[in-house]
Amino acid sequence: MTLNVELARRNMIAQQVRPWDVLDERVLNVLSAVRREDFVPAACGNLAFADLCLPLGHGEVMMKPVVEGRVLQAVDPQPGERVLEIGTGSGFFTACLAKLAGEVASVEQHADFADAARARLAAAGITNAQVETAEAVRGYKPARQFDVMVVTGAVFALPGHWYDWIKPGGRIFAIAGESPVQSATLYTHAGGAWSATALFETDLPYLRHAEPPQHFAL
């Protein structure tokens, strides 16, 4: 590892992530420890630490470091918790979740993404994350409930059956609404009811079967 890469990593934390109110030391430590450069596509290697969404293929993107930091801080995965991730992508965010939580189940609709992520996670020594190939909106049904769910692609509205996948007292992070102004939202279950807290605005590609309804003009 060259000094320039380590400097770029430190600058990413100090100049991008911290100024966006990501101050949780657990999160900052994870973003420093997981080698982001090993998870980005080869064509984007020189942009591994840039304040950009990086293209992954299939119309998908890798979230910006600042967004990853805010999401990790918001959902606050704990060592004993089981996390469901919808959209494995490159596997970087999966690795970060695995470092913070007890166990991660990640669902990826693209088989080539899933295969590559498994290899990257294994190379990084991540043993508490499993990647399954499935379409998460209509084609996936988990065998048990989770404490936390993180959705790394956008949805127009949160599918109702997703709430059933979460234990009482759990939480869901999702990016919902209509592009180009989508709301990163934390949904929490407490007292037998769900509440939603808008965190920030962003814009990400939609999950399959979660796009806005088409508007027809005469």
Does residue 83 form part of some domain? yes
Does residue 209 form part of some domain? no
Show the DSSP H helices in the chain as ranges. Answer: 3-11, 25-33, 65-75, 92-100, 111-123
Which band of pLDDT confidence, cut at 50, 70 and 90, is reported for residue 214? confident
Question: Mean pLDDT across the stretch 107-129?
Answer: 98
Number of domains within the chain = 1
* Rounded-to-integer distance, Cα 200 and Cα 86, Å: 20
Q: Please state the pTM of the whole predicted model.
A: 0.95
Instruction: Give the length of the chain.
Output: 218
Does residue 101 form part of some domain? yes
Q: Are 150 and 86 contacting, i.e. CB atoms less than 8 angstroms apart?
A: yes
For residue 36, give its domain range. Answer: 3-202
Does residue 75 form part of some domain? yes
pLDDT tens digits, one per residue of 35-68: 999 999 999 999 999 999 999 999 999 999 999 9
Does residue 102 form part of some domain? yes
Say which CATH number the domain at 56 has: 3.40.50.150
Does residue 130 form part of some domain? yes
Mean pLDDT for all residues in the chain: 95
Does residue 217 form part of some domain? no
Q: Which range among 152-156, 207-211, 214-218 shows the weakest confidence by mean pLDDT? A: 214-218
DSSP letter assigned to residue 37: G
Does residue 164 form part of some domain? yes
